[in-house]
Amino acid sequence: MAIFTGAGVAIVTPMFEDGTVNYDKLGELLEYQIANGTDAIIICGTTGESSTLSHEEHLDVIKYAIDKVAKRLPVIAGTGSNCTETAIYLSQEAEKMGADALLIVTPYYNKATQKGLIRHYTAVAESVKLPIIMYNVPGRTGCNILPETAVTLAKNVENIVAIKEATGNVAQASKLMSLADGCLDLYSGEDGLIVPLMSIGGKGVISVLSNIAPQETHDIVQLYLDGKVKESCALQLRALPLVDALFCEVNPIPVKTALNLMGMEAGAFRGPLCEMDEANEQKLIRAMKEFGIKLA
């Protein structure tokens, strides 16, 4: 059984101007997501600026989300690290807090060979009982989980059950699904490729777009699952200019900016992230208006 089916939001971490976490606003954003069709909460992923949170903050944010959501939706905790020992620690703590699943990114900066990836994921998975979604985003990590490696892990480690596919390479994803033959669930990690990956058996998306358009992102997936492929495709295509604007600068700069423009007070960024260039912000504003998102 899939951890979730539909659109899971890779939610931002709201912050005050001094960079500290704004838990009240996080609570409001979580309630907004629950009320507007989101199917799962992914906390402390890339979009949540997890790489700049201290271990204590990281775990506090995860615990806050788990307690606030209170089992109304699955909460998937991002607990990956470029250090296997750290990933194990964060994963074990998230399990104690009551997370429903874990999202484990490939080791970044120091990278890993395919053999190293197998050892890394196996060690993390064997340290917990929770289901694990591998997160493959080589554009950010410099490390690619090859289809053969992902399938080896899924077939040999019981709780490695899914992959967030963010390579942008549909051919690689297709090969993965062919080799997996049902042993691995697939989630799109690219908002612009939800329908293409659904067409090869995907269960949904782990989405940045869902932060500002949760119902529409859910609907892209649900329409497809309901057999309304033409309608799903049309909504996917209508969202593409907004998706493009949300990634015109490094994530999560545009999506946090968009939430601020909506009056939802996602707040500041932690360095090295900074405010958007004016031209890109205007592009984002135009795309939001064209998609029908109300600005404050």
Catalytic residues: 135, 164
Q: How far apart are CA 187 and CA 294, in angstroms?
A: 29
Angle between helices 229-246 and 278-291 (to 10 degrees): 160
Q: Which two tokens stand for residue 208?
A: 């940045």
